[in-house]
Amino acid sequence: MKIVRWGLVASGALLLACAQADDVTQEATETQGIDQELLKQVQEISKQALLVETFEESETFDGTRWVKSTHEKYASQAVTLDEYTVRTGHLEADKGLVLDAPAKHYGLAVKLDSPLQVDGSDGKKELVVQYELKLQKGLNCGGAYVKLLRKNESNDYTSFDNDTPFVIMFGPDKCGANDKVHFIFQHKNPLTGKYEEKHLNGPPQIKSDRLTHLYTLVVRDDNTYEMFIDQKSVSKGSLLENFTPSVLPPKEIDDADDKKPSDWVDEAKIRDPSATKPDDWDEDAPARIPDEEASKPEDWLDDESALIDDPSVAKPEDWDDEDDGEWVAPQIPNPKCEAISGCGEWVRPTKANPAYKGKWQAPLIDNPEYKGEWKPRTIPNPDYFEDEHPARLDPIGALAVEVWTMSEGITFDNFWLGNDLQKAEEFATLTFAPKHKLEAEEQEKQRARDRKELEEKRAKDGSFFHQITSMATGFVEFAKENPVAGIGSALAVTVLTVLIAFFACCGKSKDSELEKEELEDVANKTKVKDSGSEGESEDKPKLRHRKKAPVVKDD
């Protein structure tokens, strides 16, 4: 019977394994079908764009599409096409354009098959530029933006540089306190033919974490713009109202030849000439007078100095009075004066003088001759022009990545340039959305694994930190289930929180980053924040007694 039972068990296990294998095969087949269907959708929607670049082809820099600028400024640029994220459901190995080295200038461009612009015609009522960006090592100082280059007659961009004219500059830029998503466009003055950069007022901040983020800009023929980050609107407005300098010049300007008349009175107030100083006004009375009610404290020591030479400091052996001057020992508070009111000569304190009035001045009155603030007259602006369609910018001939950065691992992917925001959004839903979701989920899973590993380590060690955090977490859960009793536990939780904070600040541990994250979990139970690792404490620098300058005595 025993053998039969084991045989049945083995048979059941084999059948279960076969069933599971069938499930895996079926799941793989279904996944492959989903991959092919999504890939087909991506290919179809890509036909609606002027440019789509996913960097899945290894021949990106073979000269037929992207070019690396031959300008000497970019001679040392380090660019690769690398896998940079997890499988996204339809791309087995998602690749991106990676700027590999810090402290470099990068110059890369790809020509458009036909110019991109807004001209008001059907199909060209909006302009869209969209791309994904992943800051694998963050962005300390540098740019991660793109430029849409003005179409030139030769349609050759092999030697472009930072001075090559662009139509739009869009994307993240950060250095120190400067943190913004640029939107700059170049507007042509119809009178002079000169171009002027227009910068967006109050641009949004960049996404500086390590996840992939999507940046989208649309410019519409009705002279409006809208900016999206991760498919959410973050800024929108008017090209005529939200940029500096303004697209349109003022209709009137101040007349530079107009001068203020010599008899113009622009003082609104004057001293009252009829006022006189009161007879009892004493200008010589001091602001403060001795307090006659004050008396010297009984424990005051007149014969003791408040400061004395530090007896623990001796004159250095290498001190040379002739070269270094007379050596003066550093002084310290006199210990005899610490527990009493004071030492040395007692000086009567002062108090505010109730009779003090200060220097008399006549009161101010309205100036009867006042004519108001003078301003030059205005005249029609000779440089004024009207532009009813500033959104109809110059034709765009190429997309360029032209940046300088101190960070490495800046990764660009899934560029989309076209005239249809809806199609760009559909493309992003198929490419960016699943990738971003998986990255965010994986990040949380990794944090959970790290926290679990740290918790197990603490539990094994029986550390004080583990005991405190466990107790605090227990209090929080108890208070949720028992609100009334929870009030009585509030003080205890507060004390524990102080202990946790002290331990986190003063304790030294190689797992300090995870400890801080766990503390934040206990505090708010809502989200986990990244925090930097704690550094080792440093010894305070020792103070060196500085030599005093020699005293020069009068003859």
What are 267-319's pLDDT values in tens digits?
Answer: 999 999 999 999 999 999 999 999 999 999 999 999 999 999 999 999 999 98
* φ and ψ of 449, to 5 deg: -65, -40
Which helix (H) or strand (E) is 99 found in, with range?
strand 95-99
* Domain membership flag for residue 376: no
Give me the pLDDT at residue 65, please.
Answer: 84
Looking at the fold, whether 428 and 476 belong to one and the same domain comes out as no
Q: Would you place residue 6 in the very low, low, confident or very high pLDDT band (cuts 50, 70, 90)?
A: very low
Closest Cα partner for 107 from 165, 50, 133, 146?
146
Give me the pLDDT at residue 4, please.
Answer: 37
* Domain membership flag for residue 355: no
> pLDDT at residue 511 above 80?
no
What is the identity of the amino acid at 203? P
Query: In angstroms, how far is the first alpha carbon of the chain from the final one?
Result: 124
Give me the pLDDT at residue 512, please.
Answer: 55
Looking at the fold, whether 435 and 467 belong to one and the same domain comes out as no
* Domain membership flag for residue 151: yes
Window from 98-112, 264-278, 350-364, 478-492 with minimum mean pLDDT: 478-492
Residue 546 has a CB neighbour count (10 Å cut-off) of: 7
SS3 of 151-163: the string is CCCCCCCCCCCCC
Cβ atoms 127, 227 nearer than 8 A: no
Give me the pLDDT at residue 400, please.
Answer: 96
Looking at the fold, whether 121 and 186 belong to one and the same domain comes out as yes
Residue 246 has a CB neighbour count (10 Å cut-off) of: 13
The DSSP output letter for 526 is S
Burial of 372 (0-12, 13-18, 19+ CB in 10 A): exposed
* Domain membership flag for residue 502: yes
Residue 85 has a CB neighbour count (10 Å cut-off) of: 22
Looking at the fold, whether 508 and 397 belong to one and the same domain comes out as no
CA 506, CA 501: separation in Å to the nearest integer? Answer: 8
Give me the pLDDT at residue 508, please.
Answer: 47
> pLDDT at residue 492 above 90?
no
Question: Which pLDDT tens digit goes with each residue over 246-262?
Answer: 999 999 999 999 999 99
Give me the pLDDT at residue 95, please.
Answer: 85
Give me the pLDDT at residue 540, please.
Answer: 41
Higher-scoring residue by pLDDT: 230, 14: 230
Give me the pLDDT at residue 28, please.
Answer: 45
What is the identity of the amino acid at 532? G
- Residues 181-186, mean pLDDT to the nearest whole number: 98
H helices present in 77-174, as ranges: none
Higher-scoring residue by pLDDT: 341, 542: 341
Give me the pLDDT at residue 345, please.
Answer: 92
Burial of 38 (0-12, 13-18, 19+ CB in 10 A): middle
Looking at the fold, whether 406 and 513 belong to one and the same domain comes out as no
Reduced to 3 states (helix: H, G, I; strand: E, B; else coil), residue 32 is helix
- Residues 193-211, mean pLDDT to the nearest whole number: 95
Average pLDDT of the chain, as a whole number? 82
Backbone φ/ψ region at 89: left (φ over 0), alpha (ψ -120 to 50), beta: left
Integer angstrom CA distances of residue 290 from 168, 280, 376: 73, 22, 57
Higher-scoring residue by pLDDT: 76, 201: 201
Give me the pLDDT at residue 312, please.
Answer: 93
> pLDDT at residue 496 above 90?
no
Give me the pLDDT at residue 515, please.
Answer: 54
Higher-scoring residue by pLDDT: 10, 226: 226
The proportion of the chain whose per-residue pLDDT surpasses 90, expressed as a percent, equals 60
Give me the pLDDT at residue 39, please.
Answer: 81
Look up the CATH number of the domain holding residue 65.
2.60.120.200
Cβ atoms 511, 454 nearer than 8 A: yes
Question: Which pLDDT tens digit goes with each residue over 338-377?
Answer: 999 999 999 999 999 999 999 999 999 999 999 999 999 9
Looking at the fold, whether 434 and 472 belong to one and the same domain comes out as no
Give me the pLDDT at residue 459, please.
Answer: 80
Residue 489 has a CB neighbour count (10 Å cut-off) of: 16
DSSP 300-369: -BTTS-SEEE-TT----TT--HHHH-S----EEE-GGGTTSS-BSS----EEE-TT---S--PPEEE-TT
Give me the pLDDT at residue 501, please.
Answer: 57
* Domain membership flag for residue 212: yes
Higher-scoring residue by pLDDT: 477, 174: 174
* Domain membership flag for residue 452: no
Looking at the fold, whether 427 and 482 belong to one and the same domain comes out as no
Looking at the fold, whether 95 and 218 belong to one and the same domain comes out as yes
Domains identified in the chain, total number: 2
Looking at the fold, whether 429 and 467 belong to one and the same domain comes out as no
Give me the pLDDT at residue 473, please.
Answer: 61
Looking at the fold, whether 395 and 520 belong to one and the same domain comes out as no
* Domain membership flag for residue 32: no
Give me the pLDDT at residue 485, please.
Answer: 53
Give me the pLDDT at residue 545, please.
Answer: 40
107 pairs with which residues across the strands? 402
526 pairs with which residues across the strands? none
- Residues 57-73, mean pLDDT to the nearest whole number: 83
Give me the pLDDT at residue 552, please.
Answer: 41
- For the four alpha carbons of 500, 502, 505 and 510, in that order, the dihedral sign comes to negative
Looking at the fold, whether 152 and 235 belong to one and the same domain comes out as yes
* Domain membership flag for residue 269: no
> pLDDT at residue 32 above 90?
no
Q: Which residue range forms the structural domain that includes residue 89?
A: 51-246+391-439
Looking at the fold, whether 157 and 61 belong to one and the same domain comes out as yes
Cβ atoms 204, 399 nearer than 8 A: no
> pLDDT at residue 506 above 80?
no
